[in-house]
Amino acid sequence: MTTPDTIFAGQSPVVATSGGRVRGEVVGGIARFRAIPYAAPPVGALRFAPPARPSSWDGVRDARSPAATAPQTHRSLPGVDLTPVTGPGWRRGEDYLTLDVWSPDIGARGLPVIVFLHGGAFVAGTGSAASCDGSGFARAGTVLVTINYRVGAEGFLPVPGGATNIGLRDQIAAVKWVRENAEAFGGDPHNITLFGHSAGAASVACLLRSPLAEGLFRRAIVHSGNDETTRPLAVGHRLSAAVAEAVGVENTAEALRAVSSEQLLEAQAVVTTRGTKPDLRDSEGFDPGYGLVTFLPVTGDDVLPWDTASGTAPAGWAPELLIGTCHDEINVYLVPTGVVDSVGERQAVGMLQASRPDAEAVLAAYGLGEGDSQPGSVLARALTDLAFRSPARRLARRHPGHTYSFDFRWPSPLHQGRLGACHGLELPFVFDTLGTAGGPTGLVGDTPPTQISALMQQAWVEFAASGKASWPLYGPDHQVLQIDETTSVGTDETAPIADS
């Protein structure tokens, strides 16, 4: 069944959206539309400003080529190809506040819609990364949407005279666009699941508690992220001042709008480098970025008016939540770089002390100095808990709606298996895109267990459709789905430090 606004022309379907008609393509039986604008290009006066509605167009817009991406620097790690997960880096172009859509049948009605927010430490990434191809989700009966949003200084720097939490505002604008246009692609605008990984997951967790996002989505999936990865607005202003100083301009939105994206990226490198990085600890000496992430959402504005520890959420709004982490998150940063092998006890304490005043006691609780424990491995276990697992647990316990949890445990074969179940490893499984992340430097290797991919995607689709999962809710007994070649339900492990 089709509507008058939906045209099938061989392998080039045309759909009418709120901005105009777009022409996609059919690939493997799935309709795909790329680079559809949900907001105006963020240039000129629209830099460091909230997203603006895009201009409409006449005729049919070609939506068959990948979009530009937000200004960013492509990062690499020795012996590990993260490109399938993070994307190839900066694909230049002004019109990058766009989204991609995959649909099994644009003549259908009422399909669940999943909107995916990419990761990238709030400074990189794209919704068009190879491992995040939505064909598998569409084939399983959903409409899958991925978006690009502003990152780094242009997305998460609270500049005086400019908007705050710009990247989050972009995401909200994108979800509003999806609600407005879901039916044209066969989706149900009242059954939207917001799904994010890493920085995208932290974004989803924040939007769960944002009054500006209340009611925009029905369910949430949070992979390796949490709502504690935020800074007070006053600390964010310190970072803004440091960026302005690095480029040699006044710390105002007007002045920074005159600075090129290339110059801002150079300034980002300065303020994220050890030795030139500003002190971003809060009044109690904590840095929620743990040295891994510098640009973060800020609390104290209209997007996030709450304090992280308060546990408040918009009254009466409690979307179903699916949340989980990888068992060895931090290994992807410490193993390829050699840090896990080279760091000594005092160095491990010093590295953590930059983020926590109680670093020595924390590492002692994880076994530092006991027997033949390797300081780098102790640091890795502690950081996995501190930055990922423990705050995810706290969110799961605090969330007022139905909550399910998972622990991804299958280990990557890279670096002789020492990566373990590291950060980002689960994405090619849940998207059923294992072929994009294989090979000698691919996270999943040459023979990943395809049954894990089948299980995860089916479970995620069922959750998006109904808000239910096949394993018990994360209640007082803290049961989680432990995902490995043999998947089981188990009790969540207790961290050596308090995580309640």
Catalytic residues: 198, 329, 423
Beta bridge partners of 117: 147, 196
- Provide the token pair at 207: 């939007």
Q: How far apart are CA 465 and CA 142, in angstroms?
A: 8
> Roughly what angle, to the nearest 10 degrees, separates helices 345-353 and 375-384?
30
Length of the chain: 500
Furthest C-alpha separation in the chain: 73
The one-character DSSP state at 387 is I
Distance linking the first and last C-alpha atoms of the chain: 52
- Provide the token pair at 183: 């039916």
CB 183 within 8 A of CB 189: yes
Residues whose CB is less than 8 angstroms from the CB of residue 342 and which lie 6 or more positions away in sequence, other chains included: 376
Q: What are phi and psi of 24, to 5 degrees?
A: -105, -155
Order the strands of the 6-7 sheet from edge to edge.
6-7, 14-17, 20-23, 60-62
CB 290 within 8 A of CB 371: no
DSSP character string of 197-242: ETHHHHHHHHHTT-TTSTTS-SEEEEES--TT--EEHHHHHHHHHH
- Name the helix (H) or strand (E) containing 93: none
Beta bridge partners of 114: 144, 193
Residues whose CB is less than 8 angstroms from the CB of residue 310 and which lie 6 or more positions away in sequence, other chains included: none
Q: How far apart are CA 261 and CA 267, in angstroms?
A: 10
Three-state secondary structure string covering 296-333: CCEECCCCCCCCHHHCCCCCCCCCEEEEEEECCCCHHH
Q: How far apart are CA 125 and CA 118, in angstroms?
A: 6
- Provide the token pair at 53: 């509605």
Beta bridge partners of 222: 196, 323
CB 319 within 8 A of CB 219: yes
Specify the pairing of strand 219-223 against strand 320-326: parallel
How many helices (H) and strands (E) the chain has is answered by 16, 17
CB 64 within 8 A of CB 109: no
Q: How far apart are CA 295 and CA 239, in angstroms?
A: 8
